[in-house]
Amino acid sequence: MIIRPTPYDHPDAVKLNDLVQLEYAERYGDEGDVTPLDASMFTPPHGLYLLAYDASHRPVATGGWRAQERNAEGYSDGDAELKRMFVISEGRGQGLARRILAALEDDARAAGRTRMVLETGDRQPEAIALYVSSGYTPCEKFGHYRTYDSSRCFAKPLQG
């Protein structure tokens, strides 16, 4: 597998984003994640978006982080927020999400971010298991879905 930085609006990223949105809709019975996102949010040094490709150059996994500062949605100064972590069904179980997560943490740390945060849902137990096994702990809710009962928020210190 090859993991490379890719713009959030690259056609391969859009393709995987469409797939993750379908999965969210299946799991939660709604229109998917409606958190406002823009490609510029993932532009270094204020973010990064990664795609993983298999040997046949097919995009199989994705993930990104974007910088956040203290605001009304519950973020804190120095936060890096994980977004769009996703592995296609055929690529699961190969450690791709863990590799992308580690690369995103390293990049956010190098950019001076102090905490990685993420929001997921209670119908994504495999995601929760990945994050907990990677050192993330539950934190106060933040972001677009902070008022939803199904929302689960996690954080991990990046410095120190």
Q: What are the sequence ranges of the domains in the chain? A: 2-157
Q: Which residues contact 6 (CB under 8 A, 6 or more apart)?
A: 12, 13, 49, 50, 51
Answer CATH for 2-157 from 1.20.1250.20, 3.40.50.10090, 3.40.630.30, 1.20.140.10: 3.40.630.30
Tell me 144's DSSP state: T
* The pLDDT of residue 29: 85
- Per-residue pLDDT tens for 95-129? 999 999 999 999 999 999 999 999 999 999 999 99
Q: Which residues contact 30 (CB under 8 A, 6 or more apart)?
A: 24
- Per-residue pLDDT tens for 26-49? 998 877 788 889 999 999 999 999
119: Cα separation from own chain's centroid: 8
Is residue 16 within 8 Å of residue 59, measured between CB atoms?
yes
* The pLDDT of residue 118: 97
Pairing of strands 2-5, 115-121: unpaired
Res. 54: pLDDT tops 80:
yes
* The pLDDT of residue 160: 67
Provide the whole-model pTM. 0.94
